């Protein structure tokens, strides 16, 4: 996740977060969330297979738009 976060400019007003489901209702899945740093508005919140997030981070390549959503858990 850190590799993906580093790709966002430091001056950007958005933050990309990923982590395990806080209430445990989606085991083996990662919650990916894109939100505004200032207003805290959530633009995108989605559960995806953990393997897909790890694979994306390891390659360091840009993802095709919608690729994480296409592999919804």
The pLDDT tens digits of the residues spanning 8-33 come to: 565 578 888 878 877 888 888 888 88
pLDDT band at 73 (very low <50, low <70, confident <90, very high): very low
H-helix segments, the chain: 2-6, 50-59, 67-70
Is the pLDDT assigned to residue 39 strictly greater than 60?
yes
- How high does pLDDT run on average in the chain? 76
Calpha distance 40→50 (Å, rounded): 25
Residue 15 tokens, joined:
């933050």
State if pTM tops 0.85: no
Query: How many whole angstroms separate alpha carbon 3 and alpha carbon 11?
Result: 17
Token pair listed for 17 = 């977060």
């Amino acid at each position: 996740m850190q590799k993906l976060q580093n790709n966002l400019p430091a001056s950007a007003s958005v933050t990309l977060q990923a982590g395990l489901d806080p209430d445990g209702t989606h085991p083996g899945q990662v919650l990916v969330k894109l939100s505004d740093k200032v207003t805290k508005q959530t633009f995108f919140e989605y559960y995806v297979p953990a393997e897909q997030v790890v694979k994306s981070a390891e390659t360091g390549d840009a993802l095709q738009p919608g690729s994480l959503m296409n592999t919804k858990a």
